[in-house]
Amino acid sequence: MKWQKIKSQSNNRVNYFALAVLLFLTFSIPLTLVAINLGFNPFTRANQTLPPKEVVVANITDSGATIAFITDEPVSAIINYGIVENQLNKVVSDKRDLSSGLTGDYRTHYFELAGLTPNTVYYFTPVIVDTAYKNGAVPFTFKTLSATEDPTIPLPKYGSVNPPTAGALVYAHIISKQGSNSSTASAITADNGTYTFDVGVMRDSAGKPLDPAGLELLIVAVDNELGRGGKTFPSEQQPGSIAVAKGNQIIYANELKEISQATTTTPTQTAVPTGTNQPTTTPTTAPNPTLDQRSRQILTSPDRAESTDLAEPTSPANIFVSNIDQSGFNVNWTTSSKTTGTIYLQESNTVYKDIRDINESQTRYTHSVRVITSNFQAGEIINFTIEVNGQRVESSSYQYLIPSIPSTSAPTLTINGTRTNTHTETDTSDYIVASKLRSTDSESTFKTTVANANWSIEAGDSLLITDQSSVDFFPADSSTNTTITAYGEFNSRDGKNSSALEQVQVLMQPKLAITNPAPNQSYNNLSEISGIARPSSGIKINLNGREYTTASDTKGNWVVRNIGLIAGTNTLTATDGESQLTFRFNFTLNQLPDTSLENWQPVLFGVILIVSGILLRRYRNINYRSTQ
């Protein structure tokens, strides 16, 4: 009996414990849900976003610049930048991330921008974790130097920080006796704490070099623990070691306007959208060009504009005018990657599409746009700009002198030909064939057609333009020679000289082209690089400094797999021994699962029901046994 009484008391204690747990779950869970709805969520991480401080633009040249800033705690950061204030569609990662291939958290942040356009205002915003910070209500800005300004004469300075530490920001400028300091040079220390910067990039407020002879330089360093130090030194000497320590109240500042604004304005934040699984582009439209600020080339067939190298895949190349008549003219060009192509005509504020586009603009390697001039008079000069992917290319802005077209009937002359490829064709319309009639001392304007497998050009109305007062149809006959040039997809090209009556065969053999990835696009899932080139040719790929080799097959196709990408901006260079193609694209790591549970309520209720059921069953079993 004594044992039975003790057992009964033990069972009662178990019963009370189970009942207490059940009551706790019954009341605590609803209270937790109420608290979450009121704004407290125990499953969400704290937001580690910190605003940038002491933003400094430095090392400004005609094609590059650096941006640096600090944060109070270690965080990851990138820079969004562009030439249109609300379209910052280019991305650059911290210099250390580009070197390591990993995204790091730092208190000091350093970004190198390259491939910029001369004499251009750039807008940028630091993006920290997932938040973009502006310079007050607008993005930060800086302006690149003009390419015509005095060239940079290198004058390197080098030293170290003490104690030696990696990732310390170093700023320097010339202290002018006239009270106008130079622009800023900057650097970031290597693993051993050393740095190098170039006095040659320092300019005065007018963009002119400053002679440092007899002047002093101010240099300031901030390490990754926010220890600070600084000194002045004669320009004829090296700066040597900079002692840095926490507690120093040295803050770098320069009186130049663009830098002083960046260092004193309180940043504001805006949300940054997350990436998608597909490449995305954001077309931008620049303001109307101002013609009084530039001297444009007058482009009149048979002139061809200067051809650009393949190094910039979206830059218009092989630009020429064709099919000139009383209604208008065609503007033709190529790009070494697939883009859309349109023409902006300033006088009528009109955008003209490719002659092959009926509705939406399509991407191609070749571009032919018809510009209507029937509302203008002979002798007038009109201004047009090529647009690529919806963005005006100011370096491809031209003037066109409208000629006086003869009123007589044009002679009849038809040039026929065929087109074949050495590569697998993907777009039968992405070809343009151009003809030019020639004699011993003159040549005609261009005539073009979109080249199918069998093509034909009506060349009888090709013009002979001696000057504006002398325009006539080219005097062609059966002995007239013609030059045929064909352009096609994958940068393919062929040219022939023949009689105007001869059947012309063009063989389209591709030059180097990268089909995946595309330039200036963003990806979060990319496993290979592929393209096309001359059949059976060797291909060398440099991706972020790492070399890969492959070869094209008999159709010209090539691919490189097992590539190493970095988070942020990736730089890709391909060469086949004859051509070289370089561009950048952005790679975003797939977003890792958050520690918060987005759909945690159903899971939590399920757990409550299961636990409650187990406890209730145990309670009933124990209660049943206690009555036995």
**Most distant pair of Cα atoms in the chain: their distance:** 131
* Topology (CATH level 3) of domain 53-271: Immunoglobulin-like (2.60.40)
Q: What is the mean pLDDT of each run of 10 residues along the chain (628 residues)?
A: 47 57 61 51 49 91 92 92 90 88 90 92 90 82 80 79 92 76 91 88 80 85 90 86 82 47 33 28 26 35 39 79 92 91 91 91 93 88 90 84 86 89 87 89 88 88 76 80 90 85 86 87 87 89 88 89 83 85 78 45 64 65 54
- Residue 393 in contact with residue 506, Cβ under 8 Å? no
Nearest to 170 by CA among 157, 180, 181, 179: 157
A 10 A CB-CB count for 613 gives 10
Separation of alpha carbons 292 and 104, rounded Å? 47
Q: Which residues pair with 465 in a beta bridge?
A: 471
In order, the DSSP letters of 245-282 are: BTT-------SSHHHHHHHHSPEEEEE-PPP-SS----
Tell me the pTM.
0.49
Residue 584, SS3 per DSSP: strand
A 10 A CB-CB count for 474 gives 24
Separation of alpha carbons 518 and 368, rounded Å? 22
Separation of alpha carbons 109 and 328, rounded Å? 53
Do 53-271 and 513-587 come out as alike in CATH topology? yes
Q: Which residues pair with 156 in a beta bridge?
A: 198
Predicted pLDDT of residue 32: 59
End-to-end CA distance of the chain: 13
Phi-psi region of 546 (alpha: psi -120 to 50; beta: other; left: phi over 0): beta
Separation of alpha carbons 185 and 210, rounded Å? 13
What crossing angle do the helices spanning 600-626 and 2-37 adopt, rounded to 10°? 160
Burial label, 77 (beta-carbon count in 10 A; 0-12, 13-18, 19+): buried
Separation of alpha carbons 252 and 222, rounded Å? 9
Predicted pLDDT of residue 71: 93
Predicted pLDDT of residue 186: 94
| CATH architecture for segment(s) 513-587 | Sandwich (2.60)
Phi-psi region of 551 (alpha: psi -120 to 50; beta: other; left: phi over 0): beta
Predicted pLDDT of residue 18: 58
Predicted pLDDT of residue 570: 87
Separation of alpha carbons 283 and 391, rounded Å? 6
For the sheet with 557-561, list strands across it: 513-516, 528-532, 557-561
Separation of alpha carbons 194 and 90, rounded Å? 30
Peptide bond into 517 cis (omega under 30): yes
Nearest to 263 by CA among 67, 65, 61: 67
Residue-range domain boundaries for the chain: 2-43+597-626, 53-271, 283-510, 513-587
Separation of alpha carbons 199 and 185, rounded Å? 7
